[in-house]
Amino acid sequence: MSHRIKVLVADDSAFMRRALATILESEQDIHVVATARNGEEAVAKTLALRPDVVTMDVAMPVVDGLEAVRRIAAQAHVPVIMVSAHTRAGADATFTALELGAVDFIAKPDAAYENIDSVARDLVEKVRGCAGRAQVVVSGEAPAKSRVKPKSRPRASTYECVAIGASTGGPVALSQVIPALPASFPATVLIVQHMPVGFTDALARRLDALAHVRVREGRDGAALEPGVATVMPAGKQLALERRRGGVALRLVEDGESLHVPSVDVLVSEVAKAYGAAAIGVILTGMGHDGAAGLRTLKARGGYVIGQDESTCVVYGMPRAAALAGVVDRVAPLSEISEILCGLCAT
């Protein structure tokens, strides 16, 4: 057999350590090399064993998960996936962990383990996607709140909507792009970030605290406004509805799609509602969600920006879009907000 992915599982609950280890060991290409009961053990075993991936609880004794992530990011450069509680405090701690160097997170199974199959799929997919990936250092600090100087407009269109899709590494990437947009940004911004139910509101609140533009979680029937960024709520698919004087957001059920919400659906809906007045942005993430929707956007005259490989945590979604031939401009994360301002002539 080819190289098995080596995983270290860190959690203060013996039951949770066994549960996660059992999920991972059921896959032929994954091997749990060790477990840790606290953050101090997690750091020591990571340095000694050099696993390919670490899964990390947040609340642990001796040294908590946040400090353990900081130390691993500084000393070992091993990808860390957080195992996060479905609480407001858990979500806030998770985003702090991502800013400290964790690459992704999964939702901790609920008390009744009714969601264990979903958690298992998510965990295995993310371990495989992060294994062997060199850590990308992207500062979690908000950019200085100063006006971004515009560049010349590359085409004559007036852009009214920016659709942004992201997955693994997306929360930190968004914390670089959205706060760098000025309060006068003239387009509405729609965001799909792959994450479990219960975390998108925390993401919206966190971005809103950093940004000049307003950031909110999407609500059914809400009118889209210039200078407002809307994070699509996890667990709902979106549709856009043209009304007299504007466009409204509709949230719909979808029990069949792999990603809910989906970047493909977001960009396709934006393409139908805004046509050539739309910009698509595809950020870091595993898989290929977004490529098909961006093809629709391009067919209707829209403009597409793709994050470059060097600044992606996982160069999956931007790569798929680039291979599909739908990306007009590839750029490092640090330049994307400036490009958007130039396109929208702010």
167 in active site: yes
175 in active site: no
**Which one is catalytic: 52, 84, 167, 337?**
167
Picking from 299, 301, 343, 292, the residue whose alpha carbon sits closest to that of residue 321 is 292
Residue 293 makes CB contacts below 8 A (sequence gap 6+) with 165, 262, 263, 264, 265, 266, 267, 268, 271, 280
CA distances from 104 to 101, 172, 284, 337 (A): 9, 10, 11, 23
Q: Name 54's bridge partners.
A: 8, 80
DSSP 8-state symbol, 30 = E
**Which one is catalytic: 52, 194, 264, 268?**
194
11 in active site: no
Q: How many CA atoms lie within 13 A of 281 on its CB side?
A: 27
**Which one is catalytic: 12, 64, 104, 289?**
289
Burial (0-12, 13-18, 19+ Cβ within 10 Å), 285: buried
Q: Name 296's bridge partners.
A: none
Q: List the catalytic residues.
A: 167, 194, 289
